[in-house]
Every structure is written in C-alpha cells, then in structure tokens.
Amino acid sequence: MDAASLIAVMLAGLLTGSELTSRAIVHPTLWKLEHREQVRAEDDGLLC
C-alpha cells in the first residue's frame, strides 16, 4: 500500500468516527432540547 492510499484510508476512518460520535452523543442531546433551541443550534452551525 502506498502512502497516498494509507492516508486516504486513515482520513476516511477519522471522518467516519467523527460522524458516528456526532450521531451517538450530540444528536440525542439536542433531541432533549425544546424545539426553538434545536433550531437555534442548527442555525448557529453547532451541528457542522
């Protein structure tokens, strides 16, 4: 495996891990907020 392929695989794993963490921790916490606060969090870019 060349260096570019290794970096691509590691980057893909890192981004996938970040997305899974976001889905497992951040989103359930947001669902506990009132609707107005959920909208505010999305508008402020806290979910990016």
Number of domains in the chain: 1
Domain membership of residue 19 as a residue range: 3-43
Q: In sequence order, what DSSP letters do the residues of 3-43 get, joined into one string?
A: HHHHHHHHHHHHHHHHHHHIIIIIHHHHHTS-HHHHHHHHH
Report which of residues 27 and 3 the model is more confident about: 3
From the centroid of its chain, how far is CA 26?
8
CA distance 48 to 36: 18
Whether residue 1 is predicted with pLDDT greater than 60 in this model: the reply is yes
Q: Is residue 15 part of a domain?
A: yes
Q: Is residue 22 part of a domain?
A: yes
pLDDT the model gives residue 30: 80
Question: pLDDT tens digits for 4-19?
Answer: 999 999 888 888 887 7
8 Å CB contact between 41 and 30: yes
Q: Is residue 35 part of a domain?
A: yes
Question: pLDDT tens digits for 22-44?
Answer: 777 777 878 888 999 888 877 77
Q: How many CB atoms lie within 10 A of CB 26?
A: 13
Q: Is residue 48 part of a domain?
A: no
